Structure 1
Amino acid sequence: MRLEGAKLYRTLGVTEDASYEEITQATEELVVKYASDIKQKTRVQVTKDKIMDLRLRQRVSGNLSVLGSAREMDLIDVRRAEIDKKSKKWTPPTWTKGVLVLPDKKHLKSTSFYLGGTGLGIIMIPNLASSFIMLACMCSLGLLYNRGQPEMPKDEFGQAGEVRSPNPVSVGLTCGLVFGWAAVLAVVGTAVMAAVPGVARRLPENLVVNESINLGFWIAASMFKTYRE
């Protein structure tokens, strides 16, 4: 194990009794150094993983030569790394081909602001629910179609400096997702109204269905992306 580890530690430029933080810092510095060299960067990251695996095996066999507080901190940090590795962020399945993309904070804030406003309007002024649904539909189409597109260049007066030709595939996919999710949630809302008669009696007519449709618009605009580089 020592012979195996010596080469790994030399690759990162740290000693065998280095703490987890020192190993991590050395790894990050080398990743930055080899930012343009994918092969070397991957080699550095794999080396760190191998060191962590080696230390686990050394710990099991009682051969880990890290003493005192450094040993305790290393045990804590390695355990934290193991937990973080197991709790990786959810990633969309490959078959979605980049269409299902979790939103960043900025995009989520935009969709929640506009479609949250239309949802509130449906509740506050139920007589104008159809108008709010139309507004939500337009907002959803615009937010989804423009998600990920580079910002439109503008002239000195703030006017758009170019006219972009619509992409037929993106337009079709955008319409399909928006209207598809609205239809699915409309069916769900209708099913809820039918399954729970008390809901229909206590709430304004079709409120649940309209809010379900608005939620469908929000899902389409927030969770998907149709623009391609």
Structure 2
Amino acid sequence: MRLEGAKLYRTLGVTEDASYEEITQATDELIVKYASDIKQKTRVQVTKDKIMELRLRQRVSGNLGILGEAREMDILDTRRAEIEKKKRKWSPPAWTKGVLVVPDKKHLKSTSFYLGGTGAGIVMLPNLASSFIMLASMCSLGLLYNRGAPEIPKDEFGQPGEVRSPNPVSVGLTCGLVFGWAAVMAVAGTVLMGMVPGVARRLPENLVVNLCINLGFWIAATMFKTYRD
């Protein structure tokens, strides 16, 4: 394995303890040098790939004899791979069948704008909380049902060019999710008031429950999708 590596390193003109950056730089320089020679360029790239494969085999067998910066680069590569693995985006479980969908920035901005506004209204005008709750439910129903729906064709006057029949499955699922999450969050708000007496002393119970219901509307409209072609 060591004899094989020595020949590969000589081909690139680097030492056996060369760092990953040094190997990459040597490879790039040779590719530029042999720009008009496809055979030599291919040979240089294959040599680099073989060196990387050799180092991997040496690491697995415990015989990697590189020192200094080269060893540090191997450690950094390993850590970088671990960090990238942790950064992988969360994806919904397969059993949700496309109903639970992470929102894009545009949809998140829309739901947060409308339902954030109704939440602010509940706080600033508690006497009109029931009106804001009704408005929030309508916004949530509309945002959820239309999420993912293609834009309706319009005529030359900007008016809708066709009327689509409502999808019974999507309508039922939309209503179930919106009012289901509202009910769940209402119960959660009531339980919170009972478990944390300090909250009940500082805030009106109706205010907390209404804000929880508004949050339930936001969750339904933001995290789910019911539209089907």
Normalised TM-score (structure 1): 0.70
The alpha carbon displacement at 1:81 in A equals 2.3
Corresponding position of 2:57: 57
Map 1:182-193 → 2, pairs under 5 A: 182-193=182-193
Query: In structure 2, what residue type is equivalent to 1:100?
Result: L
Matched residues in 1 for 2:184 and 2:53: separation?
A: 47
Q: Does the CA contact (< 8 Å) of 2:173 and 2:226 recur in 1? A: yes
Native 8 Å contact 1:118 1:133 kept in 2? yes
2:92 is equivalent to residue 92 of structure 1: yes
In 1, the alpha carbon distance for the partners of 2:66 and 2:228 equals 50
Measured against aligned partners, the alpha-carbon deviations of 1:31-59 in whole angstroms (never above 9, x if no partner) come to xxxxxxxxxxxxxxxxx9xx988753332
Identity score, percent: 81
Consecutive aligned runs of 4 or more in structure 1 exceeding 4 Å deviation: 17-20, 51-55, 62-75
Q: CA RMSD in A?
A: 3.2
Q: How big is the shift at 1:204?
A: 3.3
Cα distance in 2, alignment partners of residues 205 and 212 from structure 1: 11
Is 1:181 the counterpart of 2:204? The answer is: no
3-state DSSP class of the match of 1:127? Answer: helix
Superposed displacement of residue 123, structure 1: 0.1
Superposition pairs of residues 206-221 of structure 1, within 5 angstroms: 206-221=206-221
Contact 1:200/1:206 (CA < 8 Å) preserved in 2?
Answer: no
Flag structure 1 segments of 5+ consecutive residues without an equivalent.
3-16, 23-47
Deviates most, 106-115 or 70-79: 70-79
Deviation, structure 1 residue 144: 0.5
Report the structure number with the largest CA radius of gyration: 2
SS state at 1:206 partner: helix
Distance 2:211 2:105 in 1: 23
Question: What one-letter code is carried by the residue in structure 2 that aligns with 1:219?
Answer: I
Deviations 1:135-185 (A, max 9, x none): 000000000101111122222322222211111000000000000000000
User: Structure 1 167/204 Cα, relative in aligned 2: closer, same or farther at 3 Å?
Assistant: same
Q: How many positions carry a matched residue from both structures?
A: 188
Match of 1:163 in 2: 163
Q: Helix, strand or coil: the match of 2:92?
A: coil
Q: So what's the TM-score if we normalise by structure 2? A: 0.70
Q: Is the 8 A contact 1:115 1:139 kept in 2?
A: yes
82 and 121 in structure 1: CA distance in 2 versus 1, 3 angstrom threshold = same
Whole-Å separation in 2 of the counterparts to 1:54 and 1:82: 21
Q: Structure 2 CA distance, aligned partners of 1:52 and 1:171?
A: 56
The answer to whether structure 1 residue 136 and structure 2 residue 121 are counterparts is no
